[in-house]
Amino acid sequence: MPSRDAALEIKTLAQDPVPLRARASGDWTFHGLKERSEDFARHLVEIEKQPADRIAWDLTGVGELDDAGAVWLVRAMRGSQRVDVSQGHREILNQVGQGLLVPQEPERFDPLSGVVWTGEAAAGAAEHLRDGISLLGQLALDVAGMVRRPREFPMREFSAGIFRSGVTALPVTMLVGFLVGIVLTYLSALQLKRYGADLLVINIVGVGVVRELGPMLASIISAGRSGSAITAQLGVMRVTEEVEALSVMGISITSRLVLPRVLALAVALPLVSFCTDIAALAGAMLVSSFTLGISPGAFLQALPQAVEVVNFWIGIGKSVAFGFAVAFVACHYGLRVLPNTDSLAVGVTRSVVAAITGVIILDAVFAIMLRNIG
């Protein structure tokens, strides 16, 4: 399409009552204006020196006129009545003129905004807590219902959940466990060697891994892996109204979506942390035999005496609680996602942060409660 650049001629007629004549021609479009923005800025300065009624406008030479061109012209003409323009273009100019008249709402500073913000945050937190408690209650009711009608248990979702958050998590958790076992043993061995208490390394690493590190590593990695996946999945289901579709069909969201995920992680996480324990102890065994000269056979023989079995059961029990907590937090945040992309991103981030923090807090609570055991 042949495009003629936008042009503006300004003539001065000294004797005339309307001394300035502005004649626009060419295509007044986004493109044309951008190319020649400097020229036009100069013209505008010249035009604005004169009162609006002393300039006559001739726009009959204008070819194409789009919004950007119209905005410029309307602003330059400042409501002048002496405008010669074709009917079609007059319509566009009028529309844009209306658009320019819409007042911009001033941004007001509210001195009480801090108070409002605090109040809203507190109300939001209270609502969060209330939703969480009601979800927990609903979940308890669902479990009771499932016990009475075990046939309705969503077995497929449950087993898929165990596979997804358990089996597929093994490589990464075991690798991390193995490496942490190596580092921990190496550091302890360095210190213990000085006191000649080499064999104590088995006690320290054994109890540390089985009771604390195994469950913690497994649940923190699960919070990042499975927790974020659960929140994102439920969040997208909210965005696409799949959650609403379930409730409309009379299917309980908690028993179909939340329960299988929470139970699956509560079952899978102890298994994952058991494997993590084994990997970490294998790392410990490897380092002990290299740096302290404790053979793997001696390590395995000393382990049951150094670490009481109750420590293992405490670790496994904590994993069940952590798995439940991670999946519960993830579901809670997933169901709170609003139907927009921003809310989804915020929901997933908060879910992972809350799950990890929650696991660490729970762990501290357990440590205090069980301090006299093992």
Contact residues for another protein, defined by CB under 8 A: 1-2, 29-31, 33-34, 37, 66-68, 71-72, 74, 88, 91-92, 95-96, 98-100, 102, 104, 239, 338-342
Q: Taking the complex as a whole, how short is the minimal distance between the CB of residue 225 and another protein, in angstroms?
A: 26
SS3 call for 290: helix
Q: Within 10 Å of residue 243's Cβ, how many Cβ atoms?
A: 20
Token pair 């798995």: residue: 323
Strand partners, 61: 25
What tokens does 121 get? Answer: 């945050």
Strands 55-65 vs 83-84: parallel, antiparallel or unpaired = parallel
User: Considering beta carbons, is residue 71 or 199 the nearer one to another protein?
Assistant: 71
Q: Taking the complex as a whole, how short is the minimal distance between the CB of residue 105 and another protein, in angstroms?
A: 9
User: Considering beta carbons, is residue 122 or 338 the nearer one to another protein?
Assistant: 338
What contacts 228, CB < 8 A, 6 or more positions away? 330, 348, 351, 352
Q: Taking the complex as a whole, how short is the minimal distance between the CB of residue 338 and another protein, in angstroms?
A: 7
User: Considering beta carbons, is residue 191 or 240 the nearer one to another protein?
Assistant: 240
What tokens does 371 get? Answer: 């301090």
User: Considering beta carbons, is residue 170 or 239 the nearer one to another protein?
Assistant: 239
- Cα–Cα distance between 273 and 270 in angstroms, integer? 5
C-alpha pair distances (Å), 369 with each of 66, 318, 362: 73, 12, 10
Strand partners, 56: 21
Q: Within 10 Å of residue 100's Cβ, how many Cβ atoms?
A: 11
Q: Taking the complex as a whole, how short is the minimal distance between the CB of residue 342 and another protein, in angstroms?
A: 4
Q: Taking the complex as a whole, how short is the minimal distance between the CB of residue 343 and another protein, in angstroms?
A: 8
Q: Which amino acid is at 76?
A: A
What tokens does 71 get? Answer: 């905005």
User: Considering beta carbons, is residue 86 or 113 the nearer one to another protein?
Assistant: 86
Residue pair 179/278 in contact by the 8 Å Cβ criterion: no
Q: Taking the complex as a whole, how short is the minimal distance between the CB of residue 311 and another protein, in angstroms?
A: 49
Q: Taking the complex as a whole, how short is the minimal distance between the CB of residue 69 and another protein, in angstroms?
A: 9
DSSP structure class, residue 50: S
User: Considering beta carbons, is residue 68 or 362 the nearer one to another protein?
Assistant: 68
Q: Taking the complex as a whole, how short is the minimal distance between the CB of residue 231 and another protein, in angstroms?
A: 17
- Element (DSSP H or E) covering residue 372: none
User: Considering beta carbons, is residue 92 or 269 the nearer one to another protein?
Assistant: 92
User: Considering beta carbons, is residue 92 or 205 the nearer one to another protein?
Assistant: 92
